[in-house]
Amino acid sequence: MRDVMLIVHLLSIAMFVGAGFSAFVLNKAAKKLDSATIDGYNKISLTLNYLSKTGLTLLILSGGYLMTPYWAILGQMPLLLTKLILVVVVIILLVLLAIYAKKAKQTNDKKYFAKVNNLQFLNLLAGIVIIVLAVLVFH
């Protein structure tokens, strides 16, 4: 069962961080488009949030299982504790992202799309740091 959960965990990392990389690249490319095309792009780019949420949900479920042997010694592993704290930060960022994405869809206001883009970038950075910390903890 551990191998299955590890596979799910790695695939969900690809989903979560991949959505962040996709949003980053697409946002950079969209800056070169005219404003009418950007409006259409902004609405389409919000679908990447579903990929992030799905990836993070699978990460939490599989990670909780994979953490079973480490809960008792968590206090002795500061990098692992930092990693888990960053996962909580990512959850908060995704909640904010969902709120701003909903407002962006409803109002079509560019300020909400800008906030969504910024939060997607922060999620990407946090995801990369979480991966680095995981490698340092479990190598």
Share of the chain above pLDDT 70, in %: 100
Domain ranges of the chain: 2-138
Compute the mean pLDDT over every residue in the chain, rounded to the nearest whole number.
Answer: 91
Q: Which residue has the higher pLDDT, 48 or 60?
A: 60
Q: What pLDDT is stored for residue 115 in this prediction?
A: 92
Q: Note the pLDDT tens digit of each residue in 88-122.
A: 999 999 999 999 999 988 888 889 988 999 999 99
- Whether residue 42 contacts residue 104, with contact meaning beta carbons closer than 8 Å, is answered with yes
- Whether residue 19 contacts residue 52, with contact meaning beta carbons closer than 8 Å, is answered with yes
Kindly tell me if the per-residue pLDDT of 85 is higher than 90.
Answer: yes
pLDDT band at 55 (very low <50, low <70, confident <90, very high): very high
- Whether residue 12 contacts residue 63, with contact meaning beta carbons closer than 8 Å, is answered with no
Share of the chain above pLDDT 90, in %: 65
Kindly tell me if the per-residue pLDDT of 130 is higher than 90.
Answer: yes
pLDDT band at 36 (very low <50, low <70, confident <90, very high): confident
pLDDT band at 34 (very low <50, low <70, confident <90, very high): confident
- Whether residue 9 contacts residue 66, with contact meaning beta carbons closer than 8 Å, is answered with yes
Kindly tell me if the per-residue pLDDT of 74 is higher than 90.
Answer: no
Which has the closest alpha carbon to 50: 5, 6, 108, 105? 105
